[in-house]
Amino acid sequence: MAGRGRALLVIALTAAVDSLRGESPSAQPPSAETEDVRTEARGTAVTGPPPIRDRQAVAAELAGAQVSGVLYLTDHDCRLWALHLPTLTWLNRVNEPGSDCRFVLSGSGRPLFGDGLWDPADALSAVENGSEIAVRSEATGWSFEFEGSEPAFRPDGTLTFVRGDELWEWDAGSCPAGAERVVFRAREPVERCARVLLSQTAVRRALRGEAPQLDGYLAKEAVWLDQETVAVLVEGRSGRGAILATLAEGRLRRHFGAFGPRLEDLEASPRGTYVAARFDQTTVVLSRRRTEVLEGSVRAIAWPADERHTVLATESSVLIRRPGEPMLQIPVAASDIAWAD
């Protein structure tokens, strides 16, 4: 998406968007249900999946639109559910409340709860906890904690992070003298060293003239779009302004413009076509062609692997947006979502 035009088109979707009609990913769905099954645990707490209004009509609409896959979601009690589409069949029937509604799925469908992510090979997980990041391999039992925030993985599995308002990485190449060294034991042991990947000086040089209103160039978040291109959220020292740009090898590839409110929660689509960020209750989706401002309390966003549509979780429903097609609505509330084909 980098370097393909600079014109931005802003499209506002009002809160009325909610009123529009419209266990493993490979598991075969059971027969379609005619009504929701509510399961009592010890006669007190209801632990069955959320009800879906007009199930048959919504399922028919999804089938007619050829929407298929598995929608994973957490409800308001942070219970994780898997919903087969287009049949709207729950693939798990009972679940317990969790401690965190945020989650991400590995490529094989394993959930990771909290503010974390999986590497592309499902070999490592990285979870941010305050000023530290915890890296873990389930296969070997190896774990490691270090100072940093905003972990992200390059497509080749290299872990990057923010430290001291600069972008760092755990490099597997030649380590400079005095560098912090650790042997990562995911599958095969690999010695890695911590080094600055994108310094404040490099960011300032790349953005020179693009955001003169910033009183500093501090990297706050980063997500990788491909092996060489990273989307970086840069703030001024005062915190009153922000700029989102894509950089490749320290050079500016695309500048998405300056924003007054504080942006946060960067998220990239599977192919790196889109970058989502949010401020207050508003989500911004950026692509090489346009910028969309999604209002209406969008809680979470997800895409299939081929990015054929965008999935949005709102306060009362999950919306499926397809280019040039009517909006589809699944009337079930979700705190967080993920998609698997």
Query: Per residue in 318-337, pLDDT tens?
Result: 999 998 899 999 999 999 99
Summarised one tens digit per residue, pLDDT across range 79-92 is: 999 999 999 999 99
Average pLDDT over residues 148-168: 96
User: By percentage, how much of the chain surpasses pLDDT 90?
Assistant: 58
Q: Using CA atoms, how far apart are residues 121 and 192, in angstroms rounded to an integer? A: 17
Q: Among 143-152, 262-271, 291-300, whose mean pLDDT is lowest?
A: 291-300
Which run of H or E residues covers position 163? strand 159-163
Is residue 23 scored above 80 in pLDDT?
A: no
Which run of H or E residues covers position 319? strand 318-321
Q: Strand, helix or coil at 17?
A: helix
Q: Which pLDDT does position 291 carry in this prediction? A: 72
Q: Which pLDDT does position 140 carry in this prediction? A: 94
The CB-side HSE value for 47 (13 A sphere, CA atoms) comes to: 13
Smallest Cα–Cα separation from 161: which of 77, 71, 232? 232
Summarised one tens digit per residue, pLDDT across range 113-152 is: 999 999 999 999 999 998 999 999 999 999 999 999 999 9
Q: Which pLDDT does position 113 carry in this prediction? A: 94
Residue 283, strand partner residues: 278, 294
Is residue 287 scored above 50 in pLDDT?
A: yes
Torsional sign, CA 258, 259, 263, 269 = negative
Classify strands 10-13 and 291-294 as parallel, antiparallel or unpaired.
Answer: parallel
User: By percentage, how much of the chain surpasses pLDDT 70?
Assistant: 84
Radius of gyration of the chain (CA): 21
Q: Which pLDDT does position 58 carry in this prediction? A: 98
- Structure tokens given for 245: 């740009």
pTM of the entire predicted model: 0.82
Average pLDDT over residues 15-19: 23
Q: Which pLDDT does position 64 carry in this prediction? A: 97
Residue 295's pLDDT band, with cuts at 50, 70 and 90, is: low
